[in-house]
Amino acid sequence: MDLVFYDDSHEAQRIGILTLNHPEKRNALSQAMLEALDVQLRRISSEGRVNAVILRGAGPVFSSGHDLKEVLFGGPPEVEELFAVCAAVMSTIRGIPQVVIAEVQGVATAAGCQIVAAADLAVASTQARFATPGVRIGFFCTTPSVFLGRSVPRKKAAEMLFTGEYISAEDAERFGLVNRVVSPEQLSSEALALASQVARFSLATLGEGKKAFYRQLGMEDFQALAYASEVMVTESTKPDAKEGIGAFLEKRDPLWSDRSASAPKS
């Protein structure tokens, strides 16, 4: 059984799909699952055949978070390694040039909620629910709080962390944890539609933009502006910027450096 299954059937549209594939364990993020996810994400990054990655869960649950048996029965070195692997996955999600889109069909709790918060974009079913319930079992969701607290307003993040209560998909959209909420029947098509909007552009442009976007978030306003200006000066010399600007001025479709077919005009 694959812990993380890669579907390449949409590579013609420059979209890849990763599925957390252990539904009988509620797609718990065991160390093996996390390692498999990291390998697949890094493979996608190195191959460069897709521009967007949809991350979904098999079965009714997106992910229930860490496999708590590994925490309960592991000593400090084992638990430290588990959380180091989890941190590496979050770093990979943010570090690869591809845009990562969480497709959330059901419950996403603890580290499962953390993945949604760490993803670049997220689409949820109306049946999805989100929680960071560690406080209920005496094991506060400290690592999930990092990305949660950077995705939703501080007071809402604190409420989720200190009460462990679920929020609905609609509230998740209202507070900024997900971008779109649709019916269960529309979920996959909506995630693909969002991925298609992203995937038509240059991977080099997406990758540099993604890196700069996250880097400037930790800066003071005018430090961020100075950094962003430096990035744009450098990017203005890149082939895809020259091609894209030229195509816009010439009223034609651009031909990005990472493909042989024209991208549609925006």
The sheet with strand 107-109 has its strands ordered as 61-63, 107-109, 129-131, 167-168
Instruction: For residue 233, give the amino acid letter.
Output: V
Torsion sign across C-alpha atoms 211, 237, 221, 198: negative
**pLDDT tens for the chain, residues 1 to 266:** 579 999 999 999 999 999 999 999 999 999 999 999 999 999 999 999 999 999 999 999 999 999 999 999 999 999 999 999 999 999 999 999 999 999 999 999 999 999 999 999 999 999 999 999 999 999 999 999 999 999 999 999 999 999 999 999 999 999 999 999 999 999 999 999 999 999 999 999 999 999 999 999 999 999 999 999 999 999 999 999 999 999 999 999 999 998 754 444 44
Q: Could you give the residue ranges of the DSSP H alpha helices within 167-202? A: 169-174, 187-199
How far apart (Å, rounded) are the C-alpha atoms in residues 113 and 126? 16
Domains and CATH numbers, the chain: 4-199 (3.90.226.10), 203-250 (1.10.12.10)
User: Alpha helix (H) ranges present in 64-141?
Assistant: 68-73, 76-95, 111-118
The token pair at 254 is: 């651009």
Predicted model pTM: 0.94
Question: Among all chains, which residue has been given the structure tokens 């070195």?
Answer: 77
